[in-house]
Amino acid sequence: MKKVFLAMLVLALGFGTMSFSKSFSEAAQPSIANKKQVQVNAAFGATYTIPWNSCCESPLIPIERDIVQRGLPVGTTYTIKSTTVNSVTYTIF
């Protein structure tokens, strides 16, 4: 049992050190040569401020309700920008 374990350990260590056989610059060169420029377009939607009863509900409830009333899909992504005692402001994407 010990011989099998030792053999498996030596085998695993042997495969682990194979990656060090090349220098870093040789290994990274193909990746660096194939680098391409990517353009990212980030567009933000409208910002809405809606009334919110802060004592009794989470700000997520009026936001979800407002999204449905505006006819937007239920899975619409939004970010809460600010909250006050009686209003919540959010931006949709």
Residue-level pLDDT at 81 = 93
What letter does residue 16 receive in the DSSP assignment? H
Measured distance CA(80)–CA(64) in Å, rounded? 12
Buried b (16+ CB within 10 A) or exposed e, 39-49: eeeeeeeeebe
Report field, pTM of the whole predicted structure over 0.75: no
- For the chain, list residues with pLDDT below 50: none
Structure tokens at 3: 């011989």
Which pLDDT belongs to residue 7?
73
As given in the structure block, the two tokens for residue 42 are 């980030």
User: What backbone phi and psi angles, to 5 degrees, belong to 34?
Assistant: -90, 10
Instruction: Please give the Cα distance from 74 to 84 (Å, whole number).
Output: 24
